[in-house]
Amino acid sequence: MSTVFISTRQFASICLFCFMLSFCNGGVLNPSFQIKAVSLGGWLVTEGWIKPSLFDGIPNKDFLDGTALQFKSVTTGKYLCAEDGGGTILVANRTAASDWETFKLWRINERAFNLRVFNKQFMGLDTKGNGVDMVAVSNTPGNSETFEIMRNCDNSCRVRIKAPNGFFLQAKSDVLVTADSQGSSGCGDNDPSVFLMTISGTMQGEFQVTSGYGPEKAPAIMKEHWKTFIVEDDFKFISKNGLNAVRIPVGWWIASHPSPPLPYVGGSLQALDNAFSWAEKYGIKVIIDLHAAPGSQNGWEHSSSRDGSQDWGKTDDNIQQTVDVIDFLTARYAKSLSLYAVELINEPLAPGASLENLTKYYKAGYEAVRRHSSTAYVVVSNRLGTTMEPRELFPLASGMSNLAIDVHYYNVLSDIFNNMTIQQNIVFLLTNRTSQLNYITQSNGPLTFVGEWVAEWEVKGASKGDYQRFAKAQLKVYSKATFGWAYWTLKNVNNHWSLEWMIKNGYIKL
Ligand SMILES: *[C@@H]1O[C@H](CO)[C@@H](O)[C@H](O)[C@H]1NC(C)=O
Ligand SMILES: *[C@@H]1O[C@H](CO)[C@@H](O)[C@H](O)[C@H]1NC(C)=O
Ligand SMILES: *[C@@H]1O[C@H](CO)[C@@H](O)[C@H](O)[C@H]1NC(C)=O
Ligand SMILES: *[C@@H]1O[C@H](CO)[C@@H](O)[C@H](O)[C@H]1NC(C)=O
């Protein structure tokens, strides 16, 4: 009898041990530790709207990579257009501008540009023909696809486009655009080499800032930004204000230390090293978040797309390259007590990111993390896009341990919020968001992570009290996420998007 007798106390500790085991092996609901994090957005992956001043010193800074331009001939009043969207001639017979009439810049330096058309070819001289007619046929830009945009008219919207043969483009007729104009002294309505330029889109991501400053200036500018934007004191602040983790967006080039491919700049890895040592010092957990995957998983500036293209996941090589980044980062930080989770990719966008290829990547990325750590959580992101099913990753998750699904819940950036009142916003949170979160928070499913949210909305002129109620309602709903949540973001010139500002000014208390 006595040999099998187990005291209540021993029993309790065995139970505790079992509980800890099951916690460590993950997959269980309601782990005792829940992440209350803030993202360090705009730090190691640039986002111009978070810190516009980072772009101030760029020469000719209206013309960054991805800037979308439209050109209307002053003589005919019609727009330049890549006929069929690209692959054939340039025409100038459109009375309104849309996709085919839009040209996206690739910046070579502050003067020289390639202009990419809708089907991804580059505008250029017809080198197979007379060398003067304009076409959009080349998939790889070279000298014949390199232009200058001259803004030396009094009106900065009036431009001339100088071709590599030294002449200016002109709309000779609706269907004939040639690079054979000498221009004139003025910029008047009778000079067919003058175009009215409209900037219809801009991008301010890591590609734009590094390419904009160029290889001479970018390294110093970026290093100064990394050194000053987030500092040790921020981790102290985080630890003292009810948060227990940081989510740190990184770009794929961080793994190409110390010399990433141009235009990227080395040094973000040291900054991440610093973040880990500060996190350890202040007892803060770290979620590494691959925010910018090679080729861009959503075409946005915050995944470092060059021109709005979304090319991630299209080839096995590209997926392997991404897995290698995860492998590199996990290997480097697996021993840190602060490494809590590795988020394999942020905001993959459907349909460009197919479920099949994303799943392939998630499996390989998960294995890469597990090669170095059996305990770090792996975070997979639900796809964005209107058609996606919120439980589409559940089959993938079923065989994995310590896995969380990241969803982003914003009350901005979608038409449904445009005319919502304060009360409607709050009701939406308490009903719609709650049911969305419930839908993916299943006892046999992965953990759930509201990986981005913000106390901002489309309501104009709301009072501090309104914001407080709104933030509180969100915290109430998101505290039901079994993995936890992360505010977007710690620092931002837009006050409500800065958790630091919100806490310091009494809008949010944790
Ligand atoms: C513009 O010109 C092209 C080439 O001749 C032609 O195929 C197209 O139909 C024209 N479009 C318009 C709107 O006139
Ligand atoms: C998925 O990957 C395969 C290569 O394995 C590729 O052929 C296919 O185009 C990719 N699909 C998408 C939508 O990128
Ligand atoms: C929002 O209100 C504006 C006018 O206040 C109206 O023009 C617009 O159609 C409304 N949008 C929606 C989505 O209801
Ligand atoms: C919120 O949920 C309600 C009830 O399911 C639904 O009728 C409504 O359309 C949803 N609102 C939005 C903006 O999706």
pLDDT-based confidence at 23, cuts 50/70/90? very low
Q: Angle 310-312-315 (CA atoms, 0-180°, nearest 5)?
A: 125
Q: What is the pLDDT of residues 168-203, one digit of tens each?
A: 999 999 999 999 999 988 999 999 999 999 999 999
**Ligand index nearest the alpha carbon of residue 415:** 3
Over the chain, what is the mean pLDDT? Answer: 93
CB-based contact 406:390 (threshold 8 Å): no
> Could you tell me the distance, in angstroms and rounded to a whole number, from the CA of residue 105 to the centre of ligand 1?
24
CA distances from 11 to 21, 23, 481 (A): 15, 18, 31
* Mean local confidence (pLDDT), 210-235: 98
Task: Assess whether pLDDT exceeds 50 at residue 22.
Answer: no
CA distances from 72 to 76, 171, 344, 360, 405 (A): 8, 9, 44, 45, 47
Task: Assess whether pLDDT exceeds 90 at residue 399.
Answer: no
Q: Which neighbouring-strand residues pair with 197?
A: 71
H-state helical runs in 292-399: 316-333, 355-372, 394-397
Question: What pLDDT shows up at residue 388?
Answer: 83
CB-based contact 103:80 (threshold 8 Å): yes
> Could you tell me the distance, in angstroms and rounded to a whole number, from the CA of residue 437 to the centre of ligand 4?
14
- Out of 414, 415, 418, 424, give the residue to mutate to test ligand 3, the one with the largest number of ligand atoms within 8 Å of its CB: 418
Question: What pLDDT shows up at residue 31?
Answer: 54
Q: Give the residue, 361 or 5, on which the prediction is more confident.
A: 361
Letter for the amino acid at 69? Answer: L
Integer Cα distance of 85 and 100 in angstroms: 5
H-state helical runs in 287-315: none
Ligand 4 pocket check for 13: Cβ under 6 Å: no
Pick the closest to residue 488 from 21, 41, 20 (CA basis). 41
Task: Assess whether pLDDT exceeds 60 at residue 435.
Answer: yes
Q: Which atom of ligand 4 is nearest to 428's Cα? A: 1
Pick the closest to residue 433 from 392, 470, 395 (CA basis). 470
Residues in contact with ligand 1 by the CB-under-6-Å rule are: 83, 91, 93-94, 175
Q: Give the residue, 25 or 419, on which the prediction is more confident.
A: 419
Question: What pLDDT shows up at residue 218?
Answer: 98
Integer Cα distance of 188 and 195 in angstroms: 10
* Mean local confidence (pLDDT), 71-99: 97
**Ligand index nearest the alpha carbon of residue 312:** 2
Residue entry with tokens 């479920």: 355
**Ligand index nearest the alpha carbon of residue 436:** 4
Residues in the chain: 510
> Could you tell me the distance, in angstroms and rounded to a whole number, from the CA of residue 433 to the centre of ligand 4?
10
Cβ neighbors of 365 (< 8 A, separation 6 or more) are: 322, 323, 326, 344, 345, 378
**Ligand index nearest the alpha carbon of residue 76:** 1
* Mean local confidence (pLDDT), 276-301: 98
**Ligand index nearest the alpha carbon of residue 360:** 2
Ligand 4 pocket check for 431: Cβ under 6 Å: yes
Give the domains, in start order, of the chain with CATH numbers. 30-54+204-504 (3.20.20.80), 67-201 (2.80.10.50)
Atom 3 in ligand 1: residue holding the nearest Cα: 175
Task: Assess whether pLDDT exceeds 60 at residue 486.
Answer: yes
pLDDT-based confidence at 262, cuts 50/70/90? very high
Q: Does the global pTM surpass 0.85?
A: yes
Pick the closest to residue 254 from 273, 235, 236 (CA basis). 273
> Could you tell me the distance, in angstroms and rounded to a whole number, from the CA of residue 320 to the centre of ligand 2?
13
* Mean local confidence (pLDDT), 17-23: 37
Question: What pLDDT shows up at residue 475?
Answer: 98
pLDDT-based confidence at 359, cuts 50/70/90? very high
* Mean local confidence (pLDDT), 453-471: 97
Cβ neighbors of 264 (< 8 A, separation 6 or more) are: 206, 207, 210, 251, 253, 256
Ligand 3 pocket check for 419: Cβ under 6 Å: yes
Atom 1 in ligand 3: residue holding the nearest Cα: 419
Question: What pLDDT shows up at residue 8?
Answer: 35
- Out of 78, 93, 133, 176, give the residue to mutate to test ligand 1, the one with the largest number of ligand atoms within 8 Å of its CB: 93
Q: Give the residue, 91 or 5, on which the prediction is more confident.
A: 91
Q: Which atom of ligand 4 is nearest to 416's Cα? A: 13
* Mean local confidence (pLDDT), 450-456: 98
CB-based contact 279:235 (threshold 8 Å): yes
Atom 13 in ligand 2: residue holding the nearest Cα: 354
Q: What is the pLDDT of residues 301-332, one digit of tens each?
A: 999 999 999 999 999 999 999 999 999 999 99
